[in-house]
Chains A and B, each alone.
Chain A
Amino acid sequence: MTYVIQGAKDDFEVVIGLEIHAQITSNAKLFSGASTEFGAEPNTQVSLVDAAMPGMLPTINAECIRQGVRTGLAMGAQINKFSVFDRKNYFYADLPQGYQISQFTHPIVGEGVVKLDMGDGKTKDVGIERIHLEQDAGKSMHDQHPQMTYVDLNRSGVALMEIVSKPDMTSPEEAGAYVTKIRSILRYIGSCDGNMEQGSMRADVNVSVRRAGEPLGTRCELKNINSVRFVRQSIEIEARRQVDILEEGGSIDQETRLFDPVKGETRSMRSKEEAHDYRYFPDPDLLPVEFDDAFVEAARASLPELPDVKKARLVEALGLNDYTASVLVAEKEQADFFEALLDAVVTATKKEAADVASKAANWLTGDLFGALNKAGKTIGESPVSAVQGAGLLSLIEDGTISGRIAKDVFEIMFETGKDADVIVEEKGLKQVSDTGEIEAIIDEIIAVNQGQVEQYRAGKTKLIGFFVGQVMKATGGKANPGVVNQLLKPKLDG
């Protein structure tokens, strides 16, 4: 469905491109040996290079190069075996060198594409324009002193990847899905932890609007958006602002804007005229980055199964439906949990994976995700492990407990972290399939409910549900429902 902004007179389309800044997972910074630990005391993770002491020189951290290449490969992008680090010159108190080392004319990764899952089996391809490596700046703290600004250089020099999309997105939902997908890929391959709250991933969003069929409009850039929800919100708000201006006969100024989620508005940070002239030029302290095919192939070989491939496998080889597969692969931790769960179920039940995959997936996406959601926990914090989940599922598979009882057992597992079989044993929840035992109970129930028996025999056959319920109640839910049905009907029918 096309996203349309209805103005007073015309309908408008929105065109969106994103620049995602992702902190590379690495023990050391891009050009110095300093640690990258998050949350350390201010100015404790700073080398002489990061503080730009006189005569200090950057040297490239090969691990950051490798992660950049892996990220490019995961997005099916062109890998540039020759790339150049440039200096982006501007003054700011938390930029010690007076320039940021980045890549301008020769980025390490060129064009690629990522596929977005838009639900109902629909997909959308978004082009990657380029990925380049750059250093992060430090942090200015304006709230520590009434007159002064403090500077923390812990982040100064930390390696970032800037992933630049083509302006291929046409709705806030697509932009949100794009950020989610990029985050998912980065977490799968481990090149970035994708933690938007801690700032290790953030997005600059370029938004423009146009009447259908018109050429691209003037864009505004919304800086440093740090959640998927804010990406969507900021686009809605900014697109609406631009439409209102255009409908009133105004024009859009190209500028950098700040999104204020509290006030629900975007406001100007700096206009094009105020924009910095960054005076990019190749950093003469660094040689061009060059590597061979073997380096690229080693990086490729180190990639895990990526979400798109994994999803296809879950659908085709394991028979999961498209939606469930999408949900499972969206987050690496979920997918990993599912794979571990399925492995354990297969081992425990000795059944084919395809025969138990859907049951395992349904339990995971239904019962466990539901409980985690309710408890506000992530899959990583789940009190029930994949192996424990498999223990529960195999008890259902071998008929030890019913699906109904399994729900109760799971609740206890979730609360206590105990294994399913232990709980079943302790609480005596084993399913009763002994026909003699069940038959005796049925006879007893028929004997004390003669009124209902007569109504049943008079044609109100729906009352069988009542009798089943009575049997289950009498057995504490442990009676095998199949056996109950099988025995009950001939007795009622007389």
Chain B
Amino acid sequence: MTDLTKLKIAEARDLLAKGDITARELTEAHISAVDGFDDLNAFIVKTPETALEQADAADARIQAGEAKGMTGIPVGIKDLFATKGVHTQACSHILDGFKPEYESTVTQNLWDDGAVMLGKLNMDEFAMGSSNENSYYGPVKNPWRRGTTDTVPGGSSGGSVASVAGFAAMGATASDTGGSIRQPASFTGTFGFKPTYGRCSRYGMVAFASSLDQAGTVTRSVRDGAIMLESIAGFDAKDSTSADLAVPNFEAALTGDIRGMKIGIPKEYHLEGMPAEIEALWEKGKNLLKDAGAEIIDISLPHTKYALPTYYIVAPAEASSNLARYDGVRYGLRETGNNGSLDDMYYNTRAAGFGDEVKRRILIGTYVLSAGYYDAYYLKAQKVRQLISNDFKAAFEKVDVILTPTAPSAAFAPGEKSDDPLAMYLNDVFTVPASLAGLPGANVPAGVDKNGLPLGLQILGKAWDEETVFKVSGVLEDAVGSLAEPELWWRSAK
């Protein structure tokens, strides 16, 4: 029998519909794959009983002819999505023991469509990080290795990309604040999709930076991404920033026809000192799209170089306030100290509960919002953010999508950058500008580096035009052709 874990969502959907496989079989195969995946530390909680119940319900639903795209599809859930009665801690110590009484809208949408939950996925604490080394539950390993050297899966959605790249889940929910879906997708050769800000509800999603946080998907194909995003997206009255727009049929956008479409190449994304391989990959992507009938147009996004500093003011500012609720009073960790005062409880709880990167960002955020610094930092950053957004608006007058590298390097080894926050922050240099502008973006696996590690290209689209991003991503995916799969070293190690 074929390895069911190698199926893509679209393939499994069709086999399920035909009755060739059952959701239970598919789920059992994945539960077993998840168990064999422990060495990578992608799953911090497994929910096999729930998965099997959901699978049986899915089978019944398929039999009744009421299947949706995600019915019976086993997925992993990033730990920052609230799942009722199940560990939801954004991989922070400070939320120890927290099991919400509510379900996030994104996951509820999945369950409503009949999807199957395999468990909760590791991530950088509160989605702060680019290597998944900042989790209270330990780092995640990338299924892709540099020879025999481990690499990081990227972050913050490290568990999401690792589980999908390593055939432990068919898809995973993820979240992107400054690149937390696209950068790790690039590191693992997966298709990561961040929709327009407001396309998915943030209700029940543990907040990092409210004006940037957006849920999205990690899958092994563009089509799978379209199917899964259609399930999780949609207006939600419980989130004031969610957009009251109908969700398009994203899969229908995959026509394969991009003839006459205009592809923008922003000159500011040619970074000094960027590896030649990345430049070459970008060139290759350009040529592939050109060959498919698209027109390549050079564009300028003049404020790009301010995006990273702007992001590292806006995101920590919001985070410093969003994370104030973790105070030891109502839930999670409480460290009172000996006969401590209320202030002592705050100090002790937050000192013990937050990791270094989270503390660093709370400090930065508190600083930039402080009296006397607000105008120079936060207010100025908001103005620059508007300029960056205007850059994109102007560019999209001329082009339909923008093509860039997703990350400035392939996956690196653990510890290589963890002592240097600035080097780590540079990972997001290509993803952050679109996050600030709230635009949809995808990582499409496009090749490998000299060590055989995946590299990806980023497709950015206009606000609410996810369809075009999917369409161009699909064409690029086809043009790139089949890429190598990671060796299943963790399975053989068993």
Interface residues, chain A, CB within 8 Å of chain B? Answer: 48, 51-60, 87, 89, 91-93, 96-99, 147, 149, 151, 277, 279-281, 283-287
Contacts and interface: CB of A to CB of B under 8 A. Distances in A.
A413 B481 CA distance: 97
Given A149-B342, A281-B374, A285-B240, A54 B206 contact: yes
Nearest to B370: A277
30 contacts: A48-B101, A51-B330, A52-B330, A53-B100, A53-B330, A54-B90, A54-B98, A54-B100, A54-B207, A55-B88, A55-B104, A55-B204, A55-B205, A57-B239, A59-B239, A87-B321, A91-B327, A92-B342, A97-B324, A98-B321, A98-B327, A99-B324, A147-B339, A279-B321, A279-B370, A279-B371, A280-B369, A281-B321, A284-B318, A286-B241
B209 interface: yes
Interface string B91-104: 00001001011101
Given A96-B330, A287-B240, A281 B324 contact: no
B259 to A, nearest CB: 39
A281 to B, nearest CB: 6
B104 to A, nearest CB: 6
Nearest to A287: B240
A60 B346 contact: no
Contact of B238 (A59, A149, A277): A59
A47 to B, nearest CB: 10
Given A93-B342, A277-B371, A281-B317, A54 B241 contact: no
Most central of A55, A280, A281 by chain B CB within 10 Å: A55
B324 A286 contact: no
B348 to A, nearest CB: 13
Contacts of A98: 321, 323-325, 327
B202 A96 contact: no
Nearest to B343: A91
Contacts of B366: 279
Contacts of B320: 89, 279
A284 B177 CA distance: 13
B209 A284 contact: yes
The 4 closest A-B pairs by CB, nearest first: A98-B324, A279-B369, A284-B210, A284-B211
B331 interface: yes
A289 B374 CA distance: 23
Contacts of A286: 240-241
B329 interface: yes
Chain B interface mostly? loop
A53 B102 contact: yes
A280 B317 CA distance: 11
A104 to B, nearest CB: 11
Interface of B: 80-82, 88, 90, 95, 98, 100-102, 104, 202-207, 209-211, 237-241, 317-318, 320-321, 323-325, 327, 329-331, 339, 342, 346, 366, 369-371, 374, 378
Most buried by B among A52, A58, A279: A279
B106 to A, nearest CB: 10
A85 B476 CA distance: 43
Given A281-B378, A284-B211, A54 B95 contact: yes
Contacts of A280: 369, 374
B203 A57 contact: yes
Contacts of A55: 80-82, 88, 100, 104, 202-207
B234 to A, nearest CB: 15
Given A55-B82, A281-B317, A283-B210, 4 more contacts: A54-B90, A55-B104, A89-B324, A284-B318
B204 A59 contact: no
A450 B80 CA distance: 107
A151 B345 CA distance: 15
A57 B240 contact: yes
Nearest to A275: B371
A179 B238 CA distance: 37
A286 B366 CA distance: 20
Contacts of A59: 237-240
Contacts of B210: 283-285
A286 B371 CA distance: 23
A60 B237 CA distance: 10
A52 B332 CA distance: 12
B240 A58 contact: yes
A93 B370 contact: no
B329 A93 contact: yes
Contacts of B206: 54-55
Contact of A54 (B82, B239, B346): B82
B202 to A, nearest CB: 6
Contacts of B204: 55-56
A82 B339 CA distance: 48
A91 B323 CA distance: 11
A60 B240 contact: yes
A130 to B, nearest CB: 20
Nearest to A147: B339
Contacts of B104: 55
Contacts of B370: 277, 279
A79 to B, nearest CB: 21
A96 B326 CA distance: 9
